[in-house]
């Protein structure tokens, strides 16, 4: 219990006991995590210690940033043993620096799902997961830019990454600043491209943080202590130590904390069959309710149509609280979503003492590699058809709808203008097409540009977040209206979720997401864009369609298959 208390100290945890029945008596996002904090404290007893990198001098370079690769093994168990030995060697022969970060990595000669590995780790917190989207069949504008500049694509990227523990984390209650970004950048290097900080930012950094989002802060990033990387054809297990004597976190402290975490690592990995979870939804409540949502949409439309109003679009979101008959395992749920989400990013962030924030988002905020950066416009929604002919008919309706074209054009042109502020030139290709997902289809376009400076993702984040697709246009006017109308905290819903790396960085938009805790149900988030011509009933139906990927995946228990 001592380690948990120390971890709570580092994260600024303020946990209180609450009536365990309150969650079932009434619904509010707050009641969800008042109980969640207490239950999490009892369940997760092996939270790892680390340092908050935001407290360091971001101007002081680390003594070393390095990756040490060990020889290939044939199984996760062999990789774990090899890492344990390597960590012991590092302890006996420490680098001669007062600060640094060292990654030890062992290739595994078989492909194992990173999410399967994470599911085997028995709820060790903190934990993280990020799975890149498959862009097969779509033009790669970022690679086109790299080719023009004579840059090859030799970097080998993981398909998915899972992590437990925290070698170093970055968290604050104040909005994410340039100094915070430099604090993260201090631990990264293009020579160690797989040392990455995974995490996310709040949608509104200036809004009051509700209790269910407290442990995430205004932003939260972590470099995992133990990380499992899934590649096409093989895998890799890695262990990372980070230290800074100025923060009273020495290499000795870091190694001992890593060794404690390594003792929790399980090499008995079972493959999750991507079936539904065998969970029934007992009740579902929305904030706002349908009765309150219609007037909210009408109020937004009045503002948009008002004389001299600069507002052309606002995105109104909804928080849906579901209670289930049995526990929801957030990692198993995410694995089920991943099954139908090859054209989407999957993510999980769970700091100590917090619910798991999971998502299956189709939308990229940006991907930066060298001097190239790409983003995309994604807006307007229709269901998929029951047949090929019906699907094509729905697609034609989406492409020819004036209301949807207006909503999409606002998003695309706004992103184009934002990219112009940080890029020498911007490419848009195609101008408009349809992006088809498992259950829905959207209007879509790619945008890419040539950055003026390679290493400042803070400028990219500042320019692109929030996009009109999740906020509105103009952004500040839309944000103010959202504050007036919405009665819940979005937290990291619709915020940037992804990773910073020395070689490249990539962020999704945290939509199609949920906050979930075993035994406590979940909060599912969704939003719709309101423009002139929007209809409250149609927008409500769109919200139902968007959360259906979550609710329809809770029917059958996923069976397990052993991985040799």
Catalytic positions are: 313, 363
Burial of 230 (0-12, 13-18, 19+ CB in 10 A): buried
Q: What is the length of the chain?
A: 564
Burial of 14 (0-12, 13-18, 19+ CB in 10 A): exposed
**Whole-number Cα distances in Å, 207 to 42, 484, 488, 490:** 30, 12, 10, 9
364 contacts 344 by C-beta, under 8 angstroms: no
Residue 351: closest CA among 2, 4, 11:
11
Two tokens at 45? Answer: 């007893």
The β-bridge partners of 341 are none
Two tokens at 64? Answer: 């070393």
Residue 85: closest CA among 71, 66, 65:
71
What is the Cα–Cα distance from 498 to 345, expressed in whole angstroms?
9
The β-bridge partners of 171 are 220
Close Cβ partners of 318 (under 8 Å, ≥ 6 residues apart): 286, 287, 288, 293, 525, 526, 527, 543
49 contacts 257 by C-beta, under 8 angstroms: yes
Helix (H, G, I), strand (E, B) or coil at 215: helix
CA 362 to chain centroid, in Å, comes to 12
End-to-end CA distance of the chain: 34
Strands in 423-436's sheet, in edge-to-edge order, are 51-52, 168-172, 219-223, 196-201, 496-501, 504-509, 364-369, 372-383, 440-451, 423-436
Two tokens at 173? Answer: 């209650």
Close Cβ partners of 203 (under 8 Å, ≥ 6 residues apart): 466, 470, 471, 490, 491, 492, 493, 494, 495, 510
CA 295 to chain centroid, in Å, comes to 32
E strand or H helix that includes residue 223? strand 219-223
Helix (H, G, I), strand (E, B) or coil at 36: helix
349 contacts 199 by C-beta, under 8 angstroms: yes
Q: 435-438: which pairs have CB atoms within 8 A and are 24 or more residues apart?
A: 435/343, 435/362, 435/378, 436/343, 436/384, 436/391, 436/395, 437/341, 437/343, 437/344, 437/362, 437/384, 438/340, 438/341, 438/343, 438/384, 438/549
Helix (H, G, I), strand (E, B) or coil at 308: coil
Close Cβ partners of 557 (under 8 Å, ≥ 6 residues apart): 275, 276, 277, 278
DSSP tag of 476:
H
């Amino acid at each position: 219990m001592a380690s948990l208390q120390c971890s709570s100290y580092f994260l600024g945890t303020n946990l209180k006991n609450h009536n365990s029945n309150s969650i079932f008596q009434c619904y509010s996002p707050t009641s969800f995590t008042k109980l969640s904090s207490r239950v999490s404290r009892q369940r997760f007893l092996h939270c790892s210690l680390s340092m908050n990198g935001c407290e360091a001098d971001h101007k002081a370079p680390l003594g070393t940033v390095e990756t040490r690769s060990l020889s290939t093994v044939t199984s996760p168990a062999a990789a774990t043993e090899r890492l344990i030995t390597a960590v012991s060697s590092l302890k006996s022969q420490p680098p001669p620096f007062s600060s640094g970060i060292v990654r030890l990595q062992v290739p595994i000669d078989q492909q194992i799902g990173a999410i399967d590995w994470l599911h085997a780790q028995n709820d060790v917190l903190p934990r993280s997961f990020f799975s890149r989207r498959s862009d097969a069949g779509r033009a790669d504008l970022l690679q086109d830019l790299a080719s023009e500049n004579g840059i090859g694509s030799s970097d080998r990227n993981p398909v998915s990454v899972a992590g437990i523990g925290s070698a170093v984390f970055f968290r604050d209650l104040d909005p994410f600043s340039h100094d915070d970004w430099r604090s993260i950048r201090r631990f990264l290097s293009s020579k160690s491209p797989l040392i990455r900080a995974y995490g996310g930012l709040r949608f509104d950094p200036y809004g009051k943080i509700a209790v269910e989002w407290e442990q995430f802060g205004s932003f939260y990033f972590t470099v995992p202590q133990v990380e499992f990387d899934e590649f096409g054809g093989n895998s890799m297990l890695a262990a990372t130590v980070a230290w800074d004597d100025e923060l009273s976190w020495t290499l000795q402290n870091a190694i001992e904390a890593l060794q404690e975490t390594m003792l929790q690592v399980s090499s008995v990995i079972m493959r999750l069959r991507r079936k539904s979870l065998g969970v029934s939804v007992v009740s579902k409540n929305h904030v706002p309710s349908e009765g309150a949502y219609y007037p909210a949409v009408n109020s937004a439309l009045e503002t948009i149509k008002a004389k001299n109003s600069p507002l052309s679009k606002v995105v109104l979101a909804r928080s849906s609280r579901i209670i289930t008959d049995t526990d929801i395992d957030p990692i198993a749920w995410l694995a089920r979503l991943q099954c139908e989400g090859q054209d989407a990013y999957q993510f999980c962030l769970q700091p100590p003492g917090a619910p798991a924030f999971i998502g299956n988002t189709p939308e990229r905020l940006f991907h930066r590699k060298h001097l190239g950066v790409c983003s995309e416009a994604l807006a307007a929604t229709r269901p998929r058809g029951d047949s090929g002919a019906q699907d094509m008919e729905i697609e034609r309706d989406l492409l020819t709808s004036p209301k949807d074209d207006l909503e999409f054009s606002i998003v695309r042109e706004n992103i184009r203008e934002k990219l112009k502020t940080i890029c020498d030139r911007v490419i848009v290709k195609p101008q408009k097409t349809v992006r088809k997902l498992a259950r829905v289809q959207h209007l879509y376009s790619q945008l890419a540009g040539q950055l003026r400076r390679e290493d400042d993702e803070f400028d990219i984040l500042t320019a692109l977040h929030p996009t009109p697709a999740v906020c509105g246009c103009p952004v500040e006017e839309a944000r103010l209206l959202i504050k007036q109308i919405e009665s819940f905290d979005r937290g990291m819903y619709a915020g940037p979720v992804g990773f910073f790396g020395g070689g490249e960085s990539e962020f999704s938009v945290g939509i199609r997401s949920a906050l979930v805790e075993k035994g406590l149900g979940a909060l599912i988030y969704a939003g719709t864009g309101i423009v002139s011509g929007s209809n409250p009933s149609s927008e409500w139906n769109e919200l139902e369609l968007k959360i259906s990927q979550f609710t329809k995946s809770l029917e059958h228990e996923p069976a397990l298959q052993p991985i040799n």
